[in-house]
Structure 1
Amino acid sequence: MKNKIALYGSYKKLNQIEDVLSRYLNENDIPFEIHRISDSEQFLREFLPKDDYRLFMVCEKGGVSYMLKIYNNFDRQTSRYAYGKLKFPLTQKELSDQMLEAVKTSHTCPYNVYAAQNAKMSRLIQHEDIECIYKEGKKSIFYLQSGETMEVSDSLSRIYTELDTNYFIKCSKGVIVNFFNIEQVSDDYKTILTKSGVEIPMSRLGQKNYFKSLSLSITGVNVFNY
């Protein structure tokens, strides 16, 4: 699903903003769709009230104000907004620093995006792209559907607090799995097969977490007393 973005400002300034924004999103593998408008009345009437836009950016008076929608859960039924202001002309560094910080501080469980960072890069990873996360020593490794991996210094327990724990389950010691990227579970419920074909062991506690997520995904209710 593409993230819809609405930009308001003069034609010349929007060219600069769109160029930087497009390069940033493409480099971080974030699908997007940009809509531009230079008429303030039309922007307020046709763009701002729409629920399907993730990001609004307004360029005026030498700065760029933004409003970023953060979803609370996988059901996309509740959301909140993060607000901020960037300098003009826009740079990728400021965009990365500001937007990552907005995602991190606006809510503990941003739907759709995890803000990952290491010494070499910062990256917004879509929740649906995460298959599993492994603990390796003092570091954690993200395994993505694309086959890519990303190593971060954050502990697995810290990462877990920033994910939706209803659907990112601790299937065994040192492993977190995205419930929605499970292809199948073995007949004895001792192993999980991810969509990319990775087989992961599942503990007894992992089995409980799996069934909890299953009941939530089907009925929207946790039928278990844990």
Structure 2
Amino acid sequence: MNAIIIEDEKPAARRLNRMLDKLEVPIIEVLHSVEDSIAWFLQNDHPDLIFLDIQLSDGLSFEIFENIKIKSAVIFTTAYDEYALLAFKLNSIDYLLKPIDDEELETAVHKYQDLLKDLNSKNEDLNLQLNFEDIKKLLVSPEERSYKKRFTVKVGQHLKMISLEDIECIYSENKGTYIYTSEGRNYLLETTLESLENDLPPDLFFRVNRKVFVQLGAIKDIIAYSNSRLKIITKCFKEFEIIVARERVKDFKNWLG
């Protein structure tokens, strides 16, 4: 097993490194920002495990998941508890609050090791490589998974509930994630598209490209587009053209039935 630490506070990174050294967890790299982390993942094999702070010097670490398909298991290490739900939507192994307790850290590492043993025992004859997708399957089975039924957004001093059927699409733009409703209104979400992958019912929503989920009932027309892609027309959305990425066209057609 090998691991990396992503932590912008160097004293905290050094302390965590020392704690993991006592647990015999080898750390192969320590990174301090979203930008550096993305660059590192693009150039290196992904580690087995990531110890990940959330608020980094140049943004939230969730941005890493928006740019890179992470193949590692994740243990979040942060001073902020308000991101716990979002972190677990990414199927993390654990969520540790600073200052990190030795016993809690040891428990989190053992949890990963137990999952690793379970997976290896199932796949020992197949010689499969462990990655984050395998960890996801162990953590949440399709039968146990529950999907969102609505979103709650803040409008001024009020909270507004939006049912999934009233959503035309969910999209990202300028580092924000937005709901666009059948009323023709945008609402900012405190989440990322990546974290919604396992949160939206797959029979109702489809991710047509890196920046857009489309709701089935909102589709008004589908038009052949350049380079074997498809253009989707919804009932109201006019912010930009919704194009099904070429590599997603086949899955999209299957999704339509």
Q: TM-score, normalised by structure 2?
A: 0.38
- Of Structure 1 and Structure 2, the greater strand share is in 1
- Of Structure 1 and Structure 2, the greater helix share is in 2
Q: TM-score, normalised by structure 1?
A: 0.42
